[in-house]
Copies of this chain bind each other. A is one copy, B any other.
Amino acid sequence: MASGMMKRMARGELYAEIHAGGSGTRLWPLSRAGHPKFLHHLTGSPSSLLQATMARLRPLSPPERIFVVTGVAHAAAVARQLPDLPEPNLLVEPSPRDSCAAIGLAAAVIARRDPDAIMGSFAADHLVQDQAGFERVIKAAVTGARKGQLMTIGITPSHPETGYGYLQCGEESGKIRTVVEFKEKPSVEVAEAYLASGGYLWNAGMFVWRAATFLAELERQQPALREGLAVIAAAWGTPDQDRVLGEVWPLLPKISVDHAVMEGAADHGLVSTVPGDFGWTDVGDFDTLGTALAGADNKGADADGNVVVNDPGEAPVVLLDTTNSVVVAHSRRLVAMLGVNDAVVVDTADAVLVCSRDRAQKLKLVVDELKSRGEGRYL
């Protein structure tokens, strides 16, 4: 069966959509409106998160089947970071209309090219440590998608995280479990109960489905959105493309794919999941980043548990009697630390952040403070 699946993969049936959006305020001052998280190399290598996402998908999809949806502000940066991406596969949103419109546009364009296409949908700013594990899970999800399910990738929880939504799982069939319900971000108590029960997975916002299945559910639950996308898809690749996109896109309902489709589809028994445990993180904040780059074996950290992110040729980072800290040196200036524990230090051209790791999730406080002071130029 595995070899049969490999063979099907080798035929390149999987399409992939990467949505490259969101500025990532919890990664300020590195991530800015003008240079969001996915463009940064926070991967422990010279690759950006976007490039790493593309590279992760390459064993599953050839570049001509990979589509990237991004905003007008970042189209040029995305195009330059991904020289292999065919030009027509860069789908530029005229304005942000939330995830359902972005994913739906890709689904409509892909379905037009191949009505039987199976596609995966991925964020451009997540990290995956275990490539082989990731591929196994996606391939298992493809088998579910073939059976007409909307497959969502669930992450086996390692701790009672309150920053993610959860998937409540039902029946198990091989690697696949049905998803009974999508759960919002829980309280600590609820998250602990989820973890203890073993029946809940983190909702990682990764999907695999037949494009046609998704569009049919969209038609059922969000007919206006489906209709708008159909109009756009009909004009796609014609001289009318940009005009139609410009007219129709701003009218599309602004809604997340979970709210628009997945929750309602779960109620209809159309959603399943493949539980995965492949070192996934959404790089939500600098604490998470440090943990992810350190890795399960801590090999990405130094002997004192410090994780340093900087470019080759950057100024030196000098850490003395400093432990369990995360240093992002992005300004070609020397960063020196002495006697500091559990800290985040991020150095950029116009701003430097010093933060305790346990407050890293609250970085929006700083961003809000800057807004309230009229210092938006730093955002």
Contact = CB atoms under 8 A, between A and B. Distances in A.
A343 to B, nearest CB: 7
A352 to B, nearest CB: 5
Contacts of A354: 335-338, 340, 343, 345, 354
A318 interface: yes
A336 B373 contact: no
Report, as a range, how many residues of chain A touch the other chain.
35 or more
Given A321-B359, A359-B321, A375-B316, A365 B338 contact: yes
Contacts of A362: 338-339
Which of A320, A333, A339, A345 has the most CB atoms of chain B within a 10 A radius of its CB?
A339
Interface in A239-257: none
Total copies of this chain within the assembly: 2
Given A316-B375, A375-B316, A355 B369 contact: no
A329 to B, nearest CB: 9
A358 interface: yes
B352 A320 contact: no
A335 B318 contact: no
B356 A336 contact: no
16 contacts: A29-B336, A315-B350, A316-B373, A318-B369, A318-B370, A321-B359, A333-B349, A333-B350, A334-B351, A334-B352, A335-B352, A335-B354, A336-B352, A337-B355, A339-B356, A345-B354
Complex A-B, nearest 5 residue pairs according to Cβ-Cβ distance, in ascending order: A339-B359, A334-B351, A339-B356, A338-B355, A337-B354
Interface of A: 29, 315-316, 318, 320-321, 333-340, 343, 345, 347, 349-356, 358-359, 362-363, 365-366, 369-370, 373, 375, 378
Given A340-B355, A345-B352, 16 more contacts: A315-B351, A316-B375, A318-B369, A320-B366, A334-B378, A335-B351, A335-B354, A336-B354, A336-B370, A338-B353, A338-B356, A339-B358, A339-B359, A339-B362, A340-B343, A347-B352
